[in-house]
Amino acid sequence: MTLYLLFERLEVGKLHLNSSLKVSQHASEQAPSKLDLRPGQTITVEDAIKGIVTKSANDAAVVVAENLGGDEENFAKLMTQQARALGMARTTYMNASGLPNDKQVTTARDQALLGRTIQERFPQYYKYFSTETFVYHGETMRNHNHLLGAVEGIDGIKTGYSYTRASGFNLVASVHRGGRRIFVVLGGKSSSERDVHMRKLISAHIQDAAVRRTSPVIYPDGSLASAKGKLTTDVVDPVLPMVVKTIKVQTAPQQAFLSGSSPAARRLGAKCSGGRSLALDSRSFHSHCRVAFGGLRQL
């Protein structure tokens, strides 16, 4: 979402790729992964984007937040407001980087919706998510999405590679192969475990995706239309038409939030067994489900 708001500013010309962003003391003090930015220095918008999409640079994310929102707290509120506008009903942001915060939650469904919206609304900037390497101040950084260039058709996207307190190692991946596109959202106890299961899910479900659009069109202003292009106001859940399958597999470590601390929590956990319920709340993108989505559009 940090990049979504940045892409909006670029789209309307309030910022440019060569615009300079100032680094604060607070930004420089962020925990790794980071670019080791120093207080008082500047970084271009394009370098900040590349640092975020490849290394998940937390200091760069906070630089973006402070330059766009004044401070990180206010920017997080803007992130949450935009999430609601996009239909991400179960996502709340508390910071720009995704570093651990018990009040920061999201779902696999919401992350799939965000990924597809970025892809469709900002195609000119979505290309950055396929950046395999980034050189900054002489240091070459490889994208944390190790499936890029290794699995046919993967063209982005990523999130949550730092091992947070509860969420584990997470990835949102977009795969375009044979006229079909799917999104896969999952987490694991390690990046290698996650990647193995990601490969299996892609192989198992890429052929299940439709070659024609069945999900709502996302217009440039973020509004939704029907699959046929007619504007509609009755799209309750734009992700449900994209569902391929929900599979019950425990991934990241169990936690009290999902282990039955309340009847509501137990019900949420039970929904992970299948069907069309994808809204499994999480701390910092925690999920016990590996979920495959079909980005159902004709290409």
**Per-residue pLDDT reduced to its tens digit, 116-140:** 899 889 999 999 999 989 999 999 9
* Long-range CB pairs of 90-95, under 8 A, 24+ apart, other chains included: 90/279, 90/281, 93/1, 95/62, 95/65
What is the percentage of the chain residues whose pLDDT exceeds 70?
A: 67
* Helix/strand/coil for 298: coil
Q: 2-294: which CATH architecture?
A: 3-Layer(aba) Sandwich (3.40)
Per-residue pLDDT tens over the stretch 139-157: 999 888 778 777 888 887 7
What pTM value is reported for the model? 0.72
Please say if the pLDDT value at position 292 is more than 60.
no
Report the alpha-carbon angle 123-124-126, nearest 5: 55
pLDDT per position as a tens digit, 185-223: 777 777 788 888 888 888 888 877 756 555 555 665 665
164: tokens are 């947070």
Question: Given this model, what pLDDT does residue 160 score?
Answer: 56
Please write the tens of the pLDDT for every residue from 236-287: 444 444 444 444 444 444 332 222 333 333 333 333 333 222 232 233 333 3
Residue 4's CB is within 10 A of a number of other CB atoms, namely 18
Q: For the purposes of burial, counting CB atoms within 10 Å of the CB of 228, is it exposed (0-12), middle (13-18) or buried (19 or more)?
A: exposed
Output the pLDDT for position 288.
Answer: 33
